[in-house]
Chain A
Amino acid sequence: MCGLCGSFTDLQWSAVPTLAARPALGRARLAEAASKLAADGGVRVSAWGQGFRVTGPTGRTELVGDLAALWAAVDRLGRASPDPLENAS
């Protein structure tokens, strides 16, 4: 119904005063957290410039600007799409 593919830009580090002053650190921490969530599909995420570098298991890489594009890239590059509700322990 809504036609939106996602808008998460406001979730980035600007919400946290200590990180807003150091965007590179905020980006690095977010990349690290995303990397853990994407690891099962063989995908790695790292901070890159003003955005992120997403690398799949075959070495294919995409550069993205925000979290919405990041997860779309993880879906394209990974062996499987990560679902945080799966693998409930």
Chain B
Amino acid sequence: MSGEARCPVDVLTGFLGAGKTSLLRRLIAEGALRDTAVLVNEFAALPVDDRLVAIAGAPVGLIGEGCICCVTDVNLRAALIGLLDARERGAMPPFSRVLIETSGLADPGAILAALAADPMLKARLSAGRVVTLVDLMHGEATLDDSAEAIAQIVAADAVFFTKQAGADSGAAARLSQRIASLNPLAAILPERVEDPFAWPLPDAGGVVRHRALRRFEAAPAETRHGGIAAGLLTAAAPVEWSRFAAWLSLLLHRHGNAILRVKGEVAIRGDGAVSAVMVQSVRHVVHAPEHLARAEGTALVVIARGLAPAAIEDSFRRHVTGEVGVDQQERVAV
């Protein structure tokens, strides 16, 4: 596998009954998954049998009977390795992407953490896009009483509303506000989007700098969702990587269970040049940083449960940037 590009893994998640299987069926029927290996929780709703098969050009594999919400579950790892192995042996059609459809109770953050932490998988697979389907009819009620639904919002790169026809006219706006407060990184896709995985998203650095900042300013500072709050880390000048790496690793070592997600861009100082990397972590696990073509400055979103964003921002300044003052820091409690 050496020299071969890592295969992106997209995750389709969403609340129970939000329409994940319907979307998957439509994408398969439209040929949008021709180069994609699809892993599903259960085959019952899809026209396939219990082997690795190709339907409409899309190879499909079975994860297992139960939910894939736990990273200690060996089924997901085995299924992914099985797919890669079958591709190498020529036992299934070649694919350049994997799409995992989770159960409605799964935490996609745990799935991505499993990928990033596994030495065998992380060499061959990279984290793709997490799309979370939110049912407009029941979405608000689900967010009120489901920790799993909140986890799916926190992990999302994009949120796609379903069942718009039956919902009241204000539901989308109210849910958009709540989602933005929980996860400023999540793009809320327009209704007309046919394939939420193909819809172009702004790069994470741009999201952090522009959309996240706007939303932080607009979001209400009230405490909901079990104390989940998002903070923004910025630096006036490029930072020293070793200070950042030591600080982030200690922060996650000490508070990894509470820091649900870190994502954004870090501008690094070194040998007279400035470079930039995309940094992403899910709880204790840090994904391999990716190099960016241009450095536009440090902007990282931190989503935490039960920790004050101000404390994280202050710690970042004391230990990494050496800056003082909080005036330029935007944050919100949700």
Contact = CB atoms under 8 A, between A and B. Distances in A.
Interface in B278-295: 283-289, 291
Interface stretch (B57-65, B217-225, B312-320): B312-320
A85 B71 contact: no
A81 B286 CA distance: 21
A17 B324 CA distance: 29
Interface in B90-125: 107, 110, 113-114, 116-117, 122
A4 B71 contact: yes
Contact of A85 (B72, B268, B273, B307): B307
Interface string B301-334: 0000001000110110011000010000000000
Contacts of B107: 1
B80 to A, nearest CB: 17
Contacts of A10: 116, 122, 286-289
Classify the interface of chain B: helix, strand, loop or mixed: helix
A62 interface: no
A81 to B, nearest CB: 7
Contacts of B319: 36-37, 84
Contacts of B268: 15-16
B201 interface: no
A70 B251 CA distance: 13
Contacts, number: 136
Contact of B110 (A2, A29, A72): A2
A71 B110 contact: no
Contacts of A85: 251, 254-255, 307, 311-312, 315
B248 interface: yes
B273 A18 contact: yes
B311 A68 contact: no
Given A17-B275, A84-B319, A7 B285 contact: yes
13 contacts: A4-B285, A6-B256, A11-B249, A11-B286, A13-B245, A26-B242, A29-B240, A33-B246, A37-B246, A37-B247, A68-B249, A84-B250, A89-B318
Question: Which 6 A-B pairs give the minimum distances between C-beta atoms?
Answer: A33-B246, A29-B242, A71-B253, A15-B289, A10-B288, A7-B117
Given A4-B113, A6-B253, 15 more contacts: A3-B70, A4-B117, A4-B283, A7-B117, A10-B116, A11-B248, A12-B245, A15-B268, A16-B241, A33-B242, A33-B247, A82-B254, A84-B319, A88-B314, A89-B324
Interface of A: 1-8, 10-13, 15-19, 26, 29-30, 32-34, 36-37, 67-68, 70-72, 81-85, 88-89
Interface of B: 70-72, 107, 110, 113-114, 116-117, 122, 240-243, 245-256, 268, 270-271, 273, 275, 277, 283-289, 291, 307, 311-312, 314-315, 318-319, 324
